[in-house]
Amino acid sequence: MLHRNLAVKAASLLLAVFLWFWVVLNEENPITESSVEVPITVEALQKGLALQQDPPHAVVRLRGLQEDLPSAEKRVEAFVSLRGLQPGSYNLDVQARAPGNISVLGIRPGEIPVTLEEVISESRAVDVQMVGEPPPGYELKGAEHTPETVRLSGSGSRVDQVSRVVVTVNVDRVVPGVATSLSARAVDSSGREVEGVTLAPSQVRVMLEMQPVVVSRTLPVVVRSRGELPDQFRLISVKVDPPMVTVVMPASRVEEITRVETESIPLSSVRGSLTRSVKLVVPEGVNLMDAPEAKVTLKVEPAPAPSDIDNDQAENPEEPTSE
């Protein structure tokens, strides 16, 4: 009898301890409920078929230990099965999966409409779209891209939404003359990206052609004059220092501007050799990098008597440009 009483007492004690731990644990980590929103995915989609529209999100109600729910919510899945379905429209039950220690109490919506279409594929030209400004000192002349067309695939209704295939180039982030790989996007007529279509290839190599806005050139200095020397004098030589100057000009005017001229020197008042500082004249939009003046030396001597002209075999002197 005493032995039986001891066994009963021991069992009662173990049950009491178990109940105590169960109460304590449930007070610290009670069973509770929560809801999580997740995207609805599709399973068993047959090759050659595509969804007309992406499924919506679903709200899944869960039940489990309070400390387990936060991590479990990240692993909850909502899905519909397309196994064996052919092109057409269906209302499909939404199912949910949760980790083993978490129970799924419900899911909303319980079913969703799904339309399956055959996949179509077609080629589209790539449109390069420029944004931003070229680096300082450069202007954009054009762009080359490879490939020029890509293959667009998806359900018929989605492909029909595609207005253009574009590659957006940030001009200020691209190195001129260096090819850069950029992602191509399928967009509708309003410029919004069309989801659910694939591009092959998805990357396009783009190379921008730029040229300097301004260039530096070294040009000859040409002395200009106006009028004529008095009859009793003749010009022997013209020298200018410096004979060449450096200018900065728009790149578009390189062929047009080939020299820098001095201000005109009046010859009618010259009575002998002279050296004079003369301002240099540059066209509008051209900047002179050297001194704004040049030193011009005119070597002048009395003209020979008329009787000596026929015997004069001297070479003609270099003369300034006359106006």
Q: How far apart are CA 78 and CA 39, in angstroms?
A: 7
Residue 220 has pLDDT above 90, yes or no: yes
Return the number of other C-beta atoms located less than 10 Å from residue 305's C-beta. 7
Please report the pLDDT score of residue 252 as a whole number: 82
Flag the least confident range among 89-93, 135-139, 252-256: 135-139
**Mean local confidence (pLDDT), 254-274:** 90
| Stronger pLDDT, 189 or 26, i.e. the higher one | 189
**Mean local confidence (pLDDT), 84-98:** 96
The alpha carbon dihedral of 29, 35, 37, 39 has a sign of positive
Q: How far apart are CA 317 and CA 323, in angstroms?
A: 18
The two structure tokens encoding residue 252: 């578009």
Residue 238 has pLDDT above 60, yes or no: yes
Report the b/e string of 36-48 with b at 16+ CB within 10 A. Answer: bebebebeeeeee
pTM (2 d.p.): 0.57
CB–CB of 44/24 below 8 Å? no
Residue 61 has pLDDT above 60, yes or no: yes
Please report the pLDDT score of residue 101 as a whole number: 86
Residue 3 has pLDDT above 70, yes or no: no
Fold of 214-322: RNA Polymerase Alpha Subunit; Chain A, domain 2 (2.170.120)
**Does 127-211 match 214-322 in CATH topology?**
yes
Return the number of other C-beta atoms located less than 10 Å from residue 240's C-beta. 19
Q: How far apart are CA 129 and CA 143, in angstroms?
A: 10
The proportion of the chain whose per-residue pLDDT surpasses 90, expressed as a percent, equals 59
User: Which pLDDT tens digit goes with each residue over 274-318?
Assistant: 899 999 999 888 999 989 999 999 999 988 866 554 555 445 555
Q: How far apart are CA 124 and CA 163, in angstroms?
A: 9
Residue 27 has pLDDT above 80, yes or no: no
Please report the pLDDT score of residue 268 as a whole number: 87
Residue 47 has pLDDT above 70, yes or no: yes
CATH number of the domain at 127-211, out of 3.90.580.10, 3.30.465.10, 3.40.50.300, 2.170.120.40?
2.170.120.40
Q: φ, ψ for residue 171 (rounded to 5)?
A: -60, -35
- Mean of pLDDT over the chain: 86
User: Which pLDDT tens digit goes with each residue over 103-142?
Assistant: 999 999 999 999 999 999 999 999 999 998 887 777 888 8
Please report the pLDDT score of residue 24 as a whole number: 46
Range 29-109 has CATH code 2.170.120.30: yes
Q: What's the pLDDT band for 231 if we cut at 50, 70, 90? A: confident
Where are the domains positioned within the chain? 29-109, 127-211, 214-322
Residue 217 has pLDDT above 70, yes or no: yes
CB–CB of 247/271 below 8 Å? no
Please report the pLDDT score of residue 8 as a whole number: 59
CB–CB of 58/37 below 8 Å? yes
Please report the pLDDT score of residue 16 as a whole number: 56
Q: DSSP code of 101?
A: T
Please report the pLDDT score of residue 221 as a whole number: 95
The proportion of the chain whose per-residue pLDDT surpasses 70, expressed as a percent, equals 85
Q: How far apart are CA 22 and CA 16, in angstroms?
A: 10
The alpha carbon dihedral of 104, 41, 44, 70 has a sign of negative
